[in-house]
Amino acid sequence: MVLLLILVAFSCFNGVFSLGRKELLSLKRLTTTPAPARFSHTPKDGATILEMKHIKHIQKGLLTLDVVRVESIQSRIKNVVSGRVESSQARVPISSGIQLQTLNYIVIVTLGIRNLTVIVDTGSDLSWVQCQPCRLCYTQPEPLFNPLVSPSYRSVQCNSQPCHTLQSNTGNSGLCGNNAPKCNYAVTYGDGSYTRGELGRDRLTLGMTPVENFVFGCGRNNRGLFGAASGLLGLGRNDLSLISQTSDVFGGVFSYCLPNSDSGTSGSLILGNDTLVFKNTTPVSYTRLIPNPQLYSFYILNMTGASVGGVPLQSPSFGGNGVLIDSGTVITRLPPSVYTCVKAEFLRQFTGYPSAPSFSILDTCFNLSAYDEVNIPTLKMQFEGDAEISVDVTGMFYFAKRDASQVCLALASLAYEDQIGIIGNYQQRNTRVVYDTKQMQVGFAKEVCSFS
Ligand SMILES: *[C@@H]1O[C@H](CO)[C@@H](O)[C@H](O)[C@H]1NC(C)=O
Ligand SMILES: *[C@@H]1O[C@H](CO)[C@@H](O)[C@H](O)[C@H]1NC(C)=O
Ligand SMILES: *[C@@H]1O[C@H](CO)[C@@H](O)[C@H](O)[C@H]1NC(C)=O
Ligand SMILES: *[C@@H]1O[C@H](CO)[C@@H](O)[C@H](O)[C@H]1NC(C)=O
């Protein structure tokens, strides 16, 4: 028993000894968010977000949604397994969707003449908004998009290219009946959530840059994991994604910097190769996209290693299946062997703190309410070509309770070794992530997200 444990522990290390590196996380700042009345020491400089009770409630539900998303991605994968010069740029603020009950990130775009708040999703292709007249729409604070009052809106016809593309991508024939000139669409996200309606075209304006005749779904029957956002912007690699549709305009390149959801600041989503942004970052390190014709819409990378607090880990799973990077998954999922190593090394370095019960999918939790600040060993993930994501200190811990009495390592294990790992948005905070679909690479640089 003991021998076995030692062997397991040793199999995690590279045999390279390295000084542990930790970063300071101030808990004081995080606990300055509105504390419930029963706390007598409510700080003065409370940066207001949501009431604690509200957040607690939402967060529990939201992580459940994250589980469903990962199951859905895994099931999509399982189901599948049975150039031009860029000329323009567009820059829009990207911010946490927490106010809209989602842990996804949102941007405001202009569709026709309407400003709409939509989720940014690199894990799917077709963009859509909830549309009037609606048969079944979830509640959203913004008025529904009404194609009838958008002068530049056009229905996509059945016998047109986008309709054929949709059909060949989804294998969904029969969306056009004999007497239906309009192209209907149905996207199901595998977990029961869906959007259905008709395909339309309108002018999409991103920042100051208009994209004419943008094809999107005018959704009349929508249900699922979208919080209260008005729709979704699909940034996947397939034909109908924003990136594919605008490859003439933006050159198939985009990047984002996702801010810490507690900070109240925005980051930026940039379409096109805006090199100015790299003045505020460390040099970008690139890794190649792993081609997978059957999983074409995902961005899949070759993860070759990881370290915790500067201590390199070893696992046979590195360099195997590939991992996908996704803006729409919250918590990073690692193969069990990798997760076990990360957790063991983290616990070895983060000692002396009282533990707390597990929270949802997070099994490594602490009660840190007695501390003003703690030193946290941070995670680095390495990718083929010497690219590296250095997880920001704010991406290491998930605050299940605002008073820091249940703070959890923000990583989770996949169920099976052969499932594909997913790098979630929590671990991408304060990193400039560059997607280059032309040169088939993804790059990372450290950046403190801001929109300016
Ligand atoms: C849409 O947002 C832009 C930028 O914030 C603003 O200038 C414009 O007035 C808004 N348009 C509408 C119709 O609300
Ligand atoms: C962006 O532009 C820079 C400078 O013009 C160039 O070196 C780089 O290769 C371009 N990157 C992409 C992803 O197109
Ligand atoms: C990942 O990179 C490693 C090291 O360069 C290489 O040995 C391995 O074959 C790569 N895996 C894939 C799936 O390309
Ligand atoms: C967390 O720790 C504090 C201070 O050590 C203690 O007073 C409190 O009861 C603990 N909370 C929980 C939920 O265990």
Topology alike, domains 12-30+281-446 and 50-271: yes
Confidence of residue 360 (pLDDT cuts 50, 70, 90): very high
CB 301, CB 287: distance < 8 Å: yes
Structure tokens at 356: 């707390």
Residues 6+ apart with CB under 8 A from 190: 71, 72, 73, 75, 76, 79
**pLDDT tens readout for residues 382-402:** 999 999 999 999 999 999 998
Confidence of residue 80 (pLDDT cuts 50, 70, 90): low
β-sheet bridge partners, residue 92: 269
**pLDDT tens readout for residues 210-221:** 999 999 999 999
Ligand 4 centroid to residue 36 C-alpha, Å: 16
Higher-pLDDT residue of 70 and 282 is: 282
Q: Is any ligand 2 atom within 6 A of the Cβ of residue 275?
A: yes
The residues assigned a catalytic role are: 121, 326
pTM given for the model: 0.86
Higher-pLDDT residue of 339 and 78 is: 339
**pLDDT tens readout for residues 95-146:** 999 888 888 999 999 999 999 999 999 999 999 999 999 999 999 999 999 9
Bond preceding residue 133 cis, omega within 30 of 0: yes
**DSSP sequence for 79-106:** HHH--------EEEEEEE-GGGT-SSEE
Q: Is 410 helix (H, G, I), strand (E, B) or coil?
A: coil
Ligand 1 centroid to residue 145 C-alpha, Å: 15
The domain made up of 50-271 has a fold known as Cathepsin D, subunit A; domain 1 (2.40.70)
- The pLDDT, as a whole number, for residue 58 is 40
Ligand 4 centroid to residue 405 C-alpha, Å: 6
H or E element that contains 436: strand 431-436
Residue from 369, 371, 374, 401 to probe ligand 4 pocket by mutation (most atoms less than 8 Å from CB): 369
- The pLDDT, as a whole number, for residue 178 is 62
Residues 6+ apart with CB under 8 A from 277: 255, 268, 270, 432, 447
Q: Is any ligand 4 atom within 6 A of the Cβ of residue 367?
A: yes
User: What is d(CA 108, CA 101) in angstroms, rounded to the nearest whole number?
Assistant: 16
Mean pLDDT of 59-81: 68
Confidence of residue 84 (pLDDT cuts 50, 70, 90): very low
Compute the Cα dihedral for 428, 431, 432, 433 and give only its sign.
negative
CA distances 382 to 158, 291, 329, 439, Å, are 46, 19, 20, 20
H or E element that contains 176: none
Other Cβ atoms within 10 Å of 2 Cβ, number: 6
- The pLDDT, as a whole number, for residue 393 is 93
Structure tokens at 279: 């003045």
Other Cβ atoms within 10 Å of 353 Cβ, number: 14
**pLDDT tens readout for residues 52-68:** 222 333 445 677 778 77
Whether 279 has a pLDDT exceeding 50, the answer reads yes
Confidence of residue 74 (pLDDT cuts 50, 70, 90): confident
Comparing 1-5, 106-110, 263-267, which segment has the lowest mean pLDDT?
A: 1-5
- The pLDDT, as a whole number, for residue 333 is 96
Q: How far is CA 12 from the centre of its chain?
A: 28
- The pLDDT, as a whole number, for residue 177 is 63
Provide the percentage of residues in the chain whose pLDDT is more than 90. 61
Residue reference for tokens 């970008």: 284
Listed by start position, the domains of the chain span: 12-30+281-446, 50-271
Average pLDDT for the chain: 83
CB 50, CB 96: distance < 8 Å: no
Pairing of the two strands 441-446 and 285-288:
antiparallel
Look at ligand 4, atom 5, and give the residue with the nearest C-alpha: 370
Tell me the backbone φ, ψ of residue 198, rounded to 5 degrees. -120, 150
**pLDDT tens readout for residues 282-314:** 999 999 999 887 788 899 999 999 999 999 998
**pLDDT tens readout for residues 310-336:** 999 988 888 888 999 999 899 999 999
Is CATH 3.50.30.50 the right assignment for the domain spanning 12-30+281-446?
A: no
